[in-house]
């Protein structure tokens, strides 16, 4: 397919209001004028793609998504370059990931062609919403859910796919400042054989109690340990983690099946190797990690994801102690990787790996 029928509906937000929002977009609070939509049915497969005015969806209370959470989503960004052109970062990775998520949640796979076409359709309709300047972007949120009305437990025969867009600045309200991370004593985000590798709403729902615990402990984020042994670090509520060692190693937890395979995570492994660091995927034992932090063998930690980009972690907090990482500030390696990644995304640094796609 690969084509989306454009909307002839007028914009819902005035240009003055849009300019006001774009001056300080925050994260995830404002939505654009349009959205892309495609419906799948068991009998017909995927229907025609269409661009619709952004607005409410009408679903019956019996829609399966409300009962069995058969839902998946993606996150990627459109970046405006200095010459006004608009680009996105490694979208084919998100296409493959949504296909993997779809298989795990028994949802229909959307082709890479249709996925890319849906992003293009929204960005071309909402082009004035792609912010200019600073580290702002238009965050794109493709998502797919079971919209058939029934109460038995089975995969739905009607599924809707949408892409909405939201202008974005910093994910964290304090900006790019070292995070305090709470290490959840009991809760795990995902278990072996479960859905941890898929980008489905359920994984994020199961992180919310931990986020609540974190807020009570005065922390910005929560870190989950693996559900089986409760001894190795997995990821944060919606971000992957890296640990930087004094000897040049830079380690992120291995993709065990319960960790989201982040596009930013994978890009950092490449950028770190380019810089002569020693990146690897390995298990990171929490007790060993805190001992390494205390002994100065771990100098930096950071969180990474599409929304979070790369954000330093200054402190870990658990039920027994607080661990300050390095001097508690923003580490040199962390910030250099951040500068390079965002440099590529915004067209300031040569795209030597061919990661950008023009929208």
Nearer to ligand COI, 77 or 317 (CB): 77
Strands 179-183 vs 309-317: parallel, antiparallel or unpaired:
parallel
Instruction: In angstroms, give the least distance from the CB of 236 to ligand COI.
Output: 9
- Residue 135 has, within 13 A of its CA and on its CB side, a CA count of 20
CB of 139 to ligand COI, least distance (A): 7
Reading the block at residue 40, the tokens are 């799948």
Nearest residue to ligand COI, by Cβ distance, number only: 75
Q: How many CB atoms lie within 10 A of CB 266?
A: 17
In this complex, which beta carbon is closest to ligand COI, that of residue 92 or of residue 228? 92
The sign of the torsion formed by the CA atoms of 81, 83, 85, 87 equals negative
Give least dist CB 303 to ligand COI, A. 10
Q: Is 68 in contact with 201 (CB distance < 8 Å)?
A: no
The CA distance from 291 to 304, in Å, is 23
Q: Are 8 and 49 in contact (CB under 8 A)?
A: no
Residue pair 286/151 in contact (Cβ under 8 Å)? The answer is: no
Which residues of this protein are in contact with ligand COI, per CB under 6 A?
A: 75, 238, 305-308
Q: Which is nearer to ligand COI, 238 or 312 (CB)?
A: 238
- Which residue, 47 or 201, has its beta carbon nearer to ligand COI? 201
Q: How near is the Cβ of 246 to ligand COI at its closest, in Å?
A: 29
Between 64 and 72, CB nearer to ligand COI: 72
Distance of closest approach, residue 77 Cβ to ligand COI, in angstroms = 8
Which helix H or strand E contains 312, and what residues bound it? strand 309-317
Which CB, 238 or 326, lies closer to ligand COI?
Answer: 238
By three-state DSSP, how is residue 103 classified?
A: helix
State in angstroms the smallest separation of the CB of 307 from ligand COI: 3
């Amino acid at each position: 397919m690969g084509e989306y029928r454009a909307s002839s509906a007028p914009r819902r937000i005035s240009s003055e209001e849009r300019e006001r929002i774009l001056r300080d977009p925050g994260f995830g609070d404002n939505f654009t004028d349009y959205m892309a939509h495609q419906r799948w049915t068991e009998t017909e497969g995927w229907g025609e793609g269409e661009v619709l005015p952004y607005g409410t969806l009408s679903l019956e209370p019996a829609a399966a998504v409300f009962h069995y959470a058969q839902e998946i989503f993606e996150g990627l960004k459109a970046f405006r370059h200095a010459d006004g052109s608009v680009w996105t970062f490694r979208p084919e990775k998100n296409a493959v990931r949504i296909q993997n998520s779809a298989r795990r949640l028994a949802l229909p796979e959307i082709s890479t062609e249709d996925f890319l076409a849906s992003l293009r359709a929204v960005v071309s309709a909402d082009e004035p919403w792609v912010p200019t300047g600073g580290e702002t972007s238009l965050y794109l949120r493709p998502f797919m859910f079971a919209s058939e009305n029934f109460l038995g437990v089975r995969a739905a025969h009607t599924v809707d796919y949408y892409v909405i867009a939201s202008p974005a600045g910093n994910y964290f309200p304090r900006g790019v400042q070292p995070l305090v991370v709470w290490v959840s004593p009991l809760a795990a985000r995902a278990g072996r054989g479960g859905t941890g590798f898929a980008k489905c709403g359920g994984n994020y729902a199961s992180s919310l109690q931990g986020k609540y615990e974190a807020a009570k402990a005065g922390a910005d984020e929560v870190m989950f340990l693996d559900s089986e042994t409760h001894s190795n670090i997995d990821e944060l509520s919606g971000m992957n983690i890296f640990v930087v060692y004094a000897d040049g190693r830079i380690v992120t937890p291995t993709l065990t099946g319960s960790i989201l395979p982040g596009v930013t995570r994978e890009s950092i492994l490449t950028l770190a190797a380019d810089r002569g660091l020693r990146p690897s995927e390995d298990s990171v034992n929490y007790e060993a990690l805190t001992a390494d932090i205390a002994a100065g063998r771990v100098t930096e930690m950071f969180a990474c994801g599409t929304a979070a980009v790369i954000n330093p972690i200054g402190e870990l907090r658990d039920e027994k102690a607080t661990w300050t990482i390095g001097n508690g500030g923003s580490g040199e390696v962390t910030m250099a990787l951040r500068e390079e990644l965002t440099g590529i995304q915004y067209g300031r640094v040569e795209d030597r790996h061919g990661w950008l796609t023009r929208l």
